[in-house]
Amino acid sequence: MTSREFKSVKDALLWAASYLQKKGVENSRLEAEVLFSKVLEVDRGKLLASLKDPLGEEQLERFKFFVAERIRGYPLQYITHEQEFMSLNFYVEEGVFIPRGDTEVLVEAVMSLEKKFEKILDVGTGSGIIAVTLAKIFPESRITALDVSEKALENASLNAEKHGVRDRIIFIKGDIFFWQPKEFFDLVVSNPPYIPSGDILKLQKEISFEPIKALDGGPDGLKFYYRLAELCSACLHPGGVLAVEIGWNQAREVRKIFYDAGIFENEIKVLKDYGGRDRVVICRRKL
Ligand code: SAM
Ligand code: GLN
């Protein structure tokens, strides 16, 4: 197919939308528009204003490449390098976990608890969405953001810079199973890997392009919750809060892990996501 076969941007969009749809990509019209906006490096509004414009050969080649990438399941966010979270625009690149809407429930739950948290630890910061949004919500906070992945830390640092909070976040490369905290925090927050190892290959094909280390929660998906509870006994202030994201079917087990740790108040709350599934567990360290 050459650009002569498409008289305008609109023709190319219509072709891509129907091709993507045929291959099972949801929201195919929107995706086609987002991909073409990326080719032209303009926003969607501008793209829609140029529907009648003719196409360049090079632009069409790039567009067709993006469409083919989507069809093999390569995530849209790794092409556009963008994902919105809590109404902020975040940069994300291949090798780093793509932020999910469900994680907004975690941030909103923390926001609703207290007017301020001063010292916050974000375990497994990924692209930095939790650390950056909390830094903006709590302007007096100082945040430590930990991740094993160098790439994630670079990505998160870019996002902190982009949103003007780089000076209040310390990024640390470390493995939660070995890292020894040297200070105490008022809030420990985490969206850890929580998919049981054996279930990872059963997930949607898009997910296979994301780093497995960001998803794999060990044989039962729970190993990070045991470690987080242990870590809290070493670094969470009495009265401080532990807030975590969980898989939809893990509430009972995670509550039990936190209960058995013996350091948290008995009221361990479970909150639901917008789909009505259990998504967040929150508890407070005993005074
Ligand atoms: N917080 C981000 C978010 O909500 O989008 C990323 C969450 S992702 C599910 C989990 C993150 O934990 C990944 O960035 C991964 O690199 C990191 N991680 C995995 N194993 C880790 C470990 N042993 N120690 C520290 N971080 C780890
Ligand atoms: N919510 C992610 C998914 O199922 C998993 C995230 C995680 O392991 N923290 O796509």
Q: Which ligand is nearest to the CA of 224?
A: 1
191 lines ligand 2 (CB under 6 A): yes
pLDDT digits (tens, 9 = 90+) for 33-80: 999 999 999 988 898 888 888 888 898 999 999 999 999 999 999 999
pLDDT digits (tens, 9 = 90+) for 164-214: 999 999 999 999 999 999 999 999 999 999 999 999 988 888 899 999 999
Å from CA of 195 to ligand 2 middle: 7
Residue 21: burial class (beta carbons within 10 Å; 0-12, 13-18, 19+): middle
Residue 123, beta-bridge partner list: 146, 190
pTM attached to this predicted model: 0.94
Domains along the sequence of the chain with CATH: 3-72 (1.10.8), 95-284 (3.40.50.150)
The answer on pLDDT for 4 being more than 80 is: no
Q: Closest Cα to atom 7, ligand 2: which residue?
A: 193
pLDDT digits (tens, 9 = 90+) for 100-114: 999 999 999 999 998
Helix (H) or strand (E) holding 51: none
Q: Which ligand is nearest to the CA of 150?
A: 1
Nearest atom in ligand 2 to the alpha carbon of residue 216 is 8
Count of alpha carbons within 13 angstroms of residue 45, beta-carbon side: 0
Contact 77, 90 (CB under 8 A): no
